[in-house]
Amino acid sequence: MKIVIIATHYLPHVGGLELATFHLAKELDKQHNEVHIITPSPDPNKNTTPIHMHRYPIHTYPDEHPIRAFIDGLTFFKKTVKTIKEIKPDIIHAQNITNSIPAYIAWKKYHIPYT
């Protein structure tokens, strides 16, 4: 099965979401699924796991200006939906409420179920 996981943050950042995403992807990969993680990252070339990574150079600083954060969010959503179209997954998993927006758009456009 081809699975896309959308995460707001991922390794090398360390926190609950990052570790939960890592362990979920690792276990799904062990079960012979093709796992893709889509995440924003200031360093799009950093790959810390053998999972298929799709990192986009979007800054997610907590003190970022609200307009800049809004534009970055829209850019990430657009790139995420485009990447989902290219991957053609069987299912999409959004790790938080924010990431359910591009998952919902992909469901409406391409009829790919999401959780």
Domains of the chain, each with CATH number or no CATH = 2-110 (3.40.50.2000)
pLDDT at 42: 64
pLDDT in tens, 44-77: 666 666 688 888 877 656 666 788 778 888 888 9
pLDDT in tens, 40-52: 876 666 666 668 8
Global pTM value: 0.86
Q: What is the 3-state secondary structure (H, E, C) of the chain?
A: CEEEEECCCCCCCCCHHHHHHHHHHHHHHHCCCEEEEEEECCCCCCCCCCCEEEEECCCCCCCCCHHHHHHHHHHHHHHHHHHHHHHCCCEEEECCCCCHHHHHHHHHHHCCCEC
